[in-house]
Structure formats: C-alpha cells, structure tokens
Amino acid sequence: MGTVVAQERPTHEIHAAMLYNFIKYVQWPNESEPGEFVVGVIGDENVFNTLKQWYDGKPKGTKKYVIKNLHSADEAGNCQVVYIGKSKNRDFDNIKTSVTGKSVLTITDGSGMGQKGSCINFKVIDGKLKFELNQTSVGSSNLKVSSQLSSMAILI
C-alpha cells in the first residue's frame, strides 16, 4: 500500500483566500453604492490568476468584484484593495503615495512592510502564516476593520 501525503495548498492560493476573507471584515465608506469593487494585484501573477479565477465578476453586496493586474503604482489609486507581491515591495512607497487619501486596503507580503505602512502584511512566524494589521494605516485610509479581524492579527 502506498502512503497518502496531505498536500498543503500553494501559498498564492492561501493568500488569495485570506485576502477575500479580509475583505469581509473591512468596511469601505461607499460600500452600499452600486458599481465595481476593484481588487488590484501587482507583482504576483499566481495570486492575480487565482483571484481572477475564483472571484472576478462575483457579487459583493451591491457591487461586483473586478480583479485587475496592475502594471504601475499609479493604477493602485483606482482600487479598493491592492495586493503587492514580494517582487514589488520596492515599489511600496510609490503605491502608498498613489493611494494616500483614498479608501484603499493595501495588503503586502514582505518583512517590515507593515511598519512601512501597509494595512495588512503577511508574515510567517514559527512556520505559520500570520498577518500584521497596521491600525494607523487602516484608519488613515478611512476603513473600518471588525474586532474579529483585529483579534486574529498582530497589531502594529
């Protein structure tokens, strides 16, 4: 008899699923207005493809999910959520400038990105995927995070 090895999901699928769950626990100022709910991804084709396949066109309340592959920091300001992959961490300051004063949830995957001002940053601790929540960045983006999400996060 062969042995069955439980396979863990690829990291990009876990990030995509967590990103979708984060959205459920965050409130945007214009949430009840109809239109598009744009999730932009820069610097990670796998996360983009997974989000596109799983959520593009699906309803989010009165809105509809639109998943976009971003090519520059300037495009980030037109999104409600921006996921910045590790390969684009060096562009974070430009992206942050592009979204300043707008209700954009920034989600990153990189050491120190939470301290740099990302709203949510993935972090591996003792082999487990956790996330940091920068309360100042969330507040200045005019977003409200539920206490359920805050209680699961590493608060900074």
What tens digit of pLDDT does each residue of 3-41 get? 554 457 889 999 999 999 999 999 999 888 889 999 999
Give the three-state DSSP class for 40. strand
Domains of the chain: 11-25+32-155 (3.40.50.2300)
Task: Say yes or no to pLDDT of 144 above 80.
Answer: yes
Q: Which residue has the tokens 């972090």?
A: 123
Distance CA 64, CA 148 (A): 24
**DSSP 8-state code for residue 90:** G
